[in-house]
Amino acid sequence: MISIDTDSPVPPYEQLRLQLSEQTRTGELAAGTRLPTVRKLAQDLGLAPNTVARAYRELETDHFIETRGRNGSFVSAQGDAAEKQAQEAARAYADRVQKLGIPRSAALAYITGALDS
Amino acid sequence: MFIATILLALALIAISVIASVIAWSQRKTAAVRFGKRFGLEVPDGLEPSIRDGIEARRIGSPIGTAICVVIAAVLLLLNPGLNLLATWWCLFGAYLVGLTLGSTTAILIAEQRRGHGAVRVARPKAVSVNDYVSPFQTGFARFAVVLGILVFAADCWLAASVSPNYLSLISGILAALGVATLIAYEVIAHRLISRGALAGTPLELAWDDGLRSYALTNLSGTVGLVPLYSLIAYDTLLLNTTGIASNAFFTVFVGLLPIAGTVCVLTLVLLMTRIHARQHFLRRLWPELAVKVDNNVGGTYTSVMGGR
């Protein structure tokens, strides 16, 4: 979840950039996750679209996110090559179990079981 | 037929108004009941605009119903050839459409009136229509529309030999109506989810998701029901037409097939309600909250912060 306080001395674009980069770094936002469009996020947060676009641009410069043409902006894989591959595999697994309608708890149990075996 | 049509229309409008008056008298508990249906707890000091949105649908329902039933009644009076059964199905279909459109429009208008606070929260992930409405429900709507097109195609195929030309025209209009409502739904659904949520807390965002899910679920249900009731109205007209009943092939493929399809669709609807379609958005957007609902565990909304 992103929270923006317009009364804060920290500029809104900086609050947005910091929170998104932190969530990307910690894995809360998994690699391959599609971010909302600039316009949608600006409306949600009551900000000007330019403010959100500036935060996205800086995140892209820092390789936290990547823009794939008209498909939108996506979270980039972080860390070394092995970590990047693991994050991409995790994203693919999450997409698959969601499509199959498998509950979160069961999906996590399968992963734990596979890792323990 | 003239008086019967007017009486049926007035009866449906009266039912809607009475239902709304009863619901209005219970408005103080409306948020609690809405929360229960959608798996959301009601916090102290729930955002007034969200309460407005929930209550607005009670005002919107009778207005939408009255408008749609009056339009349908006028169209039926201009075309007095329909029998009583077909008239009833047409008016009932208009009643359901009006109920949904009225309440959904009222919710959307109330949502636009939200105020602005200093703190705003947002979901850092893109959402899709499938997060709010089960793909099963969307599939139901598409299936019903395809059914209408198939009937029209069969009608055109057999038109030269058996079916009177005016029946082909009616089934063509009904199929086009189904396609138009489906396209309108797809456009409205995408516009609705691309609108800003304007929430000050994660809980407000969850309630906003609930209202959007409610509106989209109702709309997708209506999109499925419009061609369905059109088909039933068409069937009653078709099977009463002289010379049709004697043609076994025509009766089976144009008369009975849609009825069998209708039964299938209604069965799917029953299954749909059994898989807790209303909590679909919780499972997709607020998985931790959905686990609580599934386990019937109470508690605070602090875990909601971790929602999708």
pLDDT tens digits, B41-64: 777 667 676 777 777 777 788 888
In a mutagenesis test of the A interface, which of B112, B119, B288 is the best target, namely the one with the most A β-carbons within 10 Å? B119
Q: DSSP character for B277?
A: G
Cβ count near B84 (within 10 Å): 12
- Regarding predicted confidence, which is higher, B297 or B180? B180
Higher-scoring residue by pLDDT: B230, B300: B230
**Length reported for chain B:** 308
**Percent of chain A residues past pLDDT 90, beyond the cut:** 35
CA atoms within 13 A on the CB side of B29: 7
Q: What is the CA radius of gyration of chain B?
A: 22
Which chain B residue shows the shortest CA-CA distance from A73?
B126
CA distance B69 to B10: 9
Distance from CA of B143 to the nearest CA of A (A): 20
| Confidence grade of residue B277 (pLDDT, cut at 50, 70, 90) | low
Most confident of A42-51, B161-170, B251-260: A42-51
Window B:99-128, CB contacts with A under 8 Å: 116, 118-127
Give the single-character DSSP code of B256. I
Which residues contact residue B192 at a Cβ distance below 8 angstroms, ignoring those fewer than 6 apart?
Answer: B108, B212, B215, B216
Per-residue pLDDT band for B296 (boundaries 50, 70, 90) equals low
Does B202 contact A at CB distance below 8 Å?
yes
The ipTM value here is: 0.71
Rounded Cα gap, residues B288 and B144, in angstroms: 34
pLDDT (tens digit per residue) in A28-37 = 888 888 999 9
Sequence-ordered strand ranges (E) for B178-283:
none
pLDDT of A49 over the 90 cut: yes
In DSSP notation, B31-89 reads HHHHHHHHT----TT--HHHHHHHHHHHHHHHHHHHHHHHHHHHHHHH-TTS-HHHHHH
pLDDT at B302: 41
In whole angstroms, how far apart are CA A112 and each of A106, B37, B269? 10, 33, 36
pLDDT of residue B61: 80
C-alpha–C-alpha distance, residues A2 and B305, integer Å: 9
| Global pTM exceeds 0.80 | no
pLDDT digits (tens, 9 = 90+) for A83-116: 777 778 888 898 888 888 888 889 999 999 988 8
* Stretch B128-134: mean pLDDT: 87
Task: Kindly state whether B284 is in contact with chain A, defined as any CB-CB distance less than 8 angstroms.
Answer: yes
> Would you say residue B220 has pLDDT above 70?
yes
